[in-house]
C-alpha cells in the first residue's frame, strides 16, 4: 500500500508517473559472484545492513566500467582511468578506500573470471557501512563492492533528447565532477521526466543556462570537422569523452571545449552522447522549450566507427586501452 498522501503525490508528478510505466529492468541472478570486503561471495549472501549509511544518504562513490571481448579475449576498457576517478571521487568526500589501486586492479578482472564474463558492465561501489547513521562518517567503516554482469546496449541506435527543466547539480553545491551516488537522484529525475514526456533521454543545462551533459553521458556537437563539447568543471569528466577526443584528434577534428548555449544548437549538423553505458550514441533530435533541433545521425560517423572498432571483437591491440581478463 502506497503511504504517500494525495497531496504529496501531486507534488511528485514525475515519480508517480514513472512507477506506472514498467520499463525493462535487469533482474539480477542471486547466484552472481560479487567481491565484498575481501571475499568473493554470492549476491544473496552479501548480508548488507538495511542501516547502511550510503543507502540512507547517498554517500557512496562508484564507477561504471565496461569489459569487451576483443581478439585476445576479454579486456577491461581503460581500467586505470576508472580506478583513478574512483579514488578521486572517494577523496572528494573524505572517504579512504581500504585497498591500494593495484589491489583493486586485480580484483576487478577476478570478478569477471569468477562469473565467466568476457564482455560485461562492471560496477565497483565504495560505501560507508551501517555502523552508525550520524551524517558525519567518522564511525563508519568503508566497504568495497565489485559486481559485474552482462549488459548490452544502454540506449537505442539514435536517441531523441529533451532538455530537462531539472538543472545539473552545481559546483557550488557539491563536487560535481566526482561520481558520488547521491548525485544520481538529479540524473534519475531528469531521465525519468524525459521518458515520461516521450523522449529517450534527457540533456541537462547547468546553472548558467549552458548545456552540461546527459544524466549518464557527455555530449558532443558536430559541425563539419569541428567537435564542440562543454568544458570540464561542471560535468563528469567522462572517460569515453576522453577517448572520443583522442579519436577525433587522430582524424583531424578541431576540438572546442567551451560553454555552449542551447540556442546555438541550430548551428550544428550533428550531436552524440558518449559514456561507458551509452558508448557513442548519435542524437537525432533535441527538444528545447517546444522547439525541435534535428541532427544528421551520420555526422562524425568516422569517430563512432573507430570507437566500435577499438572495442570490437577484431581489435588486436590490447595494449593501449585494455587490461586483459
Ligand X SMILES: Cc1ncc(COP(=O)(O)O)c(C=O)c1O
The residues annotated as belonging to the active site are 179
**Shortest Å, Cβ 179 to ligand X:** 6
Q: Which long-range contacts (CB under 8 A, 24 or more apart) does 78-84 make?
A: 78/239, 78/243, 78/321, 79/105, 79/108, 79/322, 79/323, 80/105, 80/323, 81/239, 81/242, 82/124, 82/239
**Shortest Å, Cβ 85 to ligand X:** 7
| Residue 281 backbone zone (phi > 0: left; psi -120 to 50: alpha; other: beta) | beta
Q: Which is nearer to ligand X, 74 or 275 (CB)?
A: 275
Site for ligand X in 172-211 (CB under 6 A): 187
Q: Which is nearer to ligand X, 33 or 247 (CB)?
A: 247
213 is a site residue for ligand X (CB under 6 A): yes
Q: Which is nearer to ligand X, 33 or 212 (CB)?
A: 212
217 is a site residue for ligand X (CB under 6 A): yes
Contact 322, 295 (CB under 8 A): no
**Shortest Å, Cβ 298 to ligand X:** 22
> Position of cell 514498467?
22
Position among 53, 193, 241, 304 found at the interface with ligand X (CB under 6 A)? 241
Q: x/- binding map, residues 18-57, to ligand X, per CB under 6 A?
A: ----------------------------------------
Contact 269, 223 (CB under 8 A): yes
Q: Which is nearer to ligand X, 111 or 169 (CB)?
A: 169
230 is a site residue for ligand X (CB under 6 A): no
Q: x/- binding map, residues 254-293, to ligand X, per CB under 6 A?
A: --------------------xxx-----------------
The strand pairing partners of 35, in sequence order, are 40, 146
**Shortest Å, Cβ 186 to ligand X:** 9
Q: Nearest CA to 182 among 87, 49, 57, 51?
A: 57
Total site size for ligand X, rule CB under 6 A: 14
Using the contact rule CB under 6 A, the part of the chain among 31-39, 97-105, 233-241, 284-292 near ligand X is 233-241
Task: Report, in angstroms and rounded to the nearest whole number, the Rg of the chain calculated over CA atoms.
Answer: 20
Q: Nearest CA to 184 among 83, 80, 277?
A: 277
Q: From residue 77, give the alpha-carbon distance in Å to each of 5, 66, 105, 256.
A: 47, 6, 12, 25
**Shortest Å, Cβ 189 to ligand X:** 13
Where does this chain bind ligand X (CB under 6 A)? 64, 187, 213, 216-218, 236, 238-241, 274-276
Amino acid at each position: 500500500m502506497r503511504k504517500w498522501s494525495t497531496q504529496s503525490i501531486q507534488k511528485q508528478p514525475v515519480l508517480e508517473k514513472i512507477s506506472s510505466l514498467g520499463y525493462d529492468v535487469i533482474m539480477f541472478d542471486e547466484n552472481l559472484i560479487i567481491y565484498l570486503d575481501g571475499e568473493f561471495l554470492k549476491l544473496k549472501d552479501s548480508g548488507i545492513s538495511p542501516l547502511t549509511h550510503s543507502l540512507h544518504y547517498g554517500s557512496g562513490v562508484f564507477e561504471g566500467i565496461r569489459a569487451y571481448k576483443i581478439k585476445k579475449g576479454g579486456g577491461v576498457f581503460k581500467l586505470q582511468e576508472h580506478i583513478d576517478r574512483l579514488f578521486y571521487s572517494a577523496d572528494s568526500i573524505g572517504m579512504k578506500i581500504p585497498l591500494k589501486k593495484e589491489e583493486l586492479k586485480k580484483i576487478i578482472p577476478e570478478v569477471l573470471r569468477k562469473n565467466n564474463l568476457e564482455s560485461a558492465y562492471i560496477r565497483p561501489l565504495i560505501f560507508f557501512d551501517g555502523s552508525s547513521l550520524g551524517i558525519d562518517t567518522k564511525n563508519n567503516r568503508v566497504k568495497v563492492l565489485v559486481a559485474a554482469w552482462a549488459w548490452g546496449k544502454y540506449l537505442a541506435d539514435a536517441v531523441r533528447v529533451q532538455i530537462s527543466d531539472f538543472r545539473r547539480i552545481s559546483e557550488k553545491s557539491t563536487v560535481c565532477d566526482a561520481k558520488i551516488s547521491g548525485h544520481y537522484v538529479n540524473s534519475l529525475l531528469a531521465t525519468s521526466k524525459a521518458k515520461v514526456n516521450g523522449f529517450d533521454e534527457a540533456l541537462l543545462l547547468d546553472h548558467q543556462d549552458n548545456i552540461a551533459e546527459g544524466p549518464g553521458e557527455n555530449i558532443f556537437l558536430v559541425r563539419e570537422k569541428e567537435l564542440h563539447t562543454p568544458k570540464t568543471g561542471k560535468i563528469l569528466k567522462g572517460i569515453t569523452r576522453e577517448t572520443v577526443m583522442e579519436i577525433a584528434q587522430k582524424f583531424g577534428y578541431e576540438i572546442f571545449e567551451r560553454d555552449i548555449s542551447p540556442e546555438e544548437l541550430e548551428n550544428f549538423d550533428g550531436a552524440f552522447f558518449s559514456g561507458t553505458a551509452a558508448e557513442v550514441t548519435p542524437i537525432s533530435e533535441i527538444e528545447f522549450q517546444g522547439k525541435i533541433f534535428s541532427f544528421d545521425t551520420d555526422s562524425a560517423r568516422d569517430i563512432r566507427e573507430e570507437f566500435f572498432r577499438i572495442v570490437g571483437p577484431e581489435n588486436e591491440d590490447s595494449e593501449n586501452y585494455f587490461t586483459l581478463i
